[in-house]
Amino acid sequence: MDAFITASVLAFQPQSLLALVIGSLFGLAFGCIPGLTFTMALALILPLTFTLDPMMAIAMLISTYIGGASGGTVAAILIGVPGTPSSAATVSDGHALAKSGKASLAIAMATISSTLGGIFSLVVMVFSVKFLAEVALVFGPAEIFALVVFGMAMICGLAEQSLVRGLIGGVIGLMVMTIGQDPIDGVSRLTFGNVQLLQGVDLLVAMIGLFAVPQVVDALATHRNGTAVESKSVKVELPSLGYILGFRWNLLRSSLLGTVIGAIPGTSGTVAAFIAYAQEKRLARNPERWGKGEMGGVVAPETANNAVTGGAMIPMLGLGIPGDPATALILGGLLVHGIQPGPLLFIEQPETVYSIYFFFGLSYVLVTLTMLFGVKVFVQALKLPHHLLAVAIMVLCVVGSYSLRNSMFDIGAMVVVGLIGYLLQKARVPLTPILLGLVLGPIMERELRTAMIMSGDNATILLSPISLFFFGLSLLVVVLQVVGMVRAQRQKQAVSA
């Protein structure tokens, strides 16, 4: 209890709060702008924290992380280009809502869901960090592989009209991800001896290309005048409590899913967001309307991708093992100040642990308030003429692609992926499965190959109880999917006959 009081005194010091405000806003700005991510924000802010006192440094790192994880949704909803990969699942319904004049409601709901998901994961973290850190250890390469296969199976349901076209998209995504240096042997693949191609097509670069370039090309090719959204009324509308509570089961399920996926090292918020979306679509009463502006399709991914923040902190704090690049940077920042996450941190420096919890919660409060007040400003972007918005998006995308790795190659890759994406869209191949191939492909490959190496090429390693559980679920999902499709086809034929 003493430590708790000490921590609260330390956390509420003016300089810590100042660091918290700076971090939140900085993270939020990076999250909002397409092409800039919170990983980048953390890398930039990290050197600044070296010279701060430890409490201020922790406050700044944690708040940048949370601000960045929450901001990505704004661009996804307003302009249909996700600010970060973890908001990609929000695009289809979020942007459709914006087009029908409900942008402010969608952003507000996304913010509230993000916060609820984040706070849920914080509570789970506070009460069970040691236990969950141990549970996360059970997930080895074979188990993570099975989990990702399950993710793929769930996501097949997202292939909007045609399963075949969806699968084509998925395979294209998987293929693109094999370009570059092989993650296991370090052998170069499909690089034609070119050193630049060794870096491969980065997920973020591909995502910017896929979502932004087709929009820009469309805007400029059609020479359409007028604003990005046809609806003239851009009125600000916030959800009522009753409206929010209408999504309580969605919120709960997505929070749980995000926290669990976040706690497993090697997965990410993007995976969690897509699985949550697919799960809620499956459970919805009107799945056919998803993708056309259902609020549930905003709530589910945004809740899950922020629940990942608390989840990812679990192995980082409990074991000193970072689950993704963002938490690895936070870990580096803590180590610089002599704070060594791991089992002993809770015994030797409980006040540090408590202050991390405080900063985590406070950041969410701050981010929510900023976003809810900011909605008014954000939606003004919709009043911009379409072609001007297109040019602005293009500039941001080029800057974002370059600054990710300071590489001109990435700008070229973004444009090439984007133009191919545009052509595929004309051929009615959906873009979401391509992105999923890009996200899940590298994890699948790495985990499967590691599992096989570990067992001396004995495939029975893939049959651990946890893996079998996920393989079973995958099979169930695919069977249900096929049955559903056949039934729908029969009904259609019956109607037409």
Q: Compute how many other C-beta atoms are within 10 angstroms of the C-beta atom of residue 47.
A: 10
Confirm or reject binding of residue 130 to other proteins (CB under 8 A). no
Please identify, using beta-carbon distances, which residue of 106 and 129 lies nearer to other proteins.
129
Nearest CB to other proteins, comparing residues 345 and 382: 345
Q: Is 190 in the site for other proteins (CB under 8 A)?
A: no
Q: By CB under 8 A, tell whether 365 contacts other proteins.
A: no
Q: Which residues contact 244 (CB under 8 A, 6 or more apart)?
A: 109, 112
Least separation in angstroms between residue 192's CB and other proteins is: 13
Which of 28, 41, 46, 436 is in the footprint of other proteins by CB under 8 A? 46
Q: Does residue 332 bind other proteins (CB under 8 A)? A: yes
242 contributes a contact to other proteins by CB under 8 A: no
Looking at residues 148 to 177 of the shown chain, list those that interact with other proteins (rule: CB under 8 A): none
Cβ 195 to other proteins shortest distance, Å? 4
Q: Of residues 413-452, which lie at the interface with other proteins (CB under 8 A)?
A: 446, 450
Cβ atoms 111, 371 nearer than 8 A: yes
Q: Quote the Cα angle for 193-197-201, to 5°.
A: 155
Closest CB to other proteins among 100 and 407?
407
Minimum separation from the CB atom of position 125 to other proteins (A): 18
Q: Which is nearer to other proteins, 454 or 468 (CB)?
A: 454
Distance from C-alpha of 193 to C-alpha of 117, rounded to nearest angstrom: 46
- Of 65-73, 96-104, 188-196, 233-241: span binding other proteins (CB under 8 A): 188-196
Query: Residue 363: which of 13, 7, 28, 4 has the closest Cα?
Result: 28
By CB under 8 A, tell whether 407 contacts other proteins: yes
Residues 258-317 that bind other proteins (CB under 8 A): 265-266, 315
Which of 47, 67, 70, 128 has its CA nearest to residue 302? 70
Name the one range near other proteins by CB under 8 A: 108-116, 157-165, 301-309, 400-408: 400-408
**Residue 460 touching other proteins (CB under 8 A):** no
Using CB under 8 A, pick the residue from 47, 226, 412, 484 that binds other proteins: 47
Interface with other proteins, residue 412, by CB under 8 A:
no
Contact characters 58-97, other proteins, x per CB under 8 A: ----------------------------------------
Among 1, 2, 187, 241, binds other proteins (CB under 8 A): 187
User: Which of residues 320, 350, 374, 385 is near other proteins by CB under 8 A?
Assistant: 320
Report in angstroms how near the CB of residue 289 gets to other proteins at its nearest.
40
Least distance from other proteins to the Cβ atom of residue 36, Å: 14
Smallest separation (angstroms) from other proteins to the CB of 325: 7
Q: How far is the CB of 353 from other proteins (least distance, A)?
A: 13
Q: Does 184 bind other proteins (CB under 8 A)?
A: yes
Question: Smallest gap, in angstroms, from Cβ of residue 374 to other proteins?
Answer: 30
Span of 81-89, 100-108, 242-250, 327-335 interacting with other proteins by CB under 8 A: 327-335
Given the rule CB under 8 A, which residues bind other proteins? Answer: 43, 46-47, 50, 136-138, 140-141, 180-181, 183-188, 195-196, 198-200, 265-266, 315, 319-322, 325, 328, 332-333, 335-338, 340-345, 405-407, 446, 450, 453-454, 456
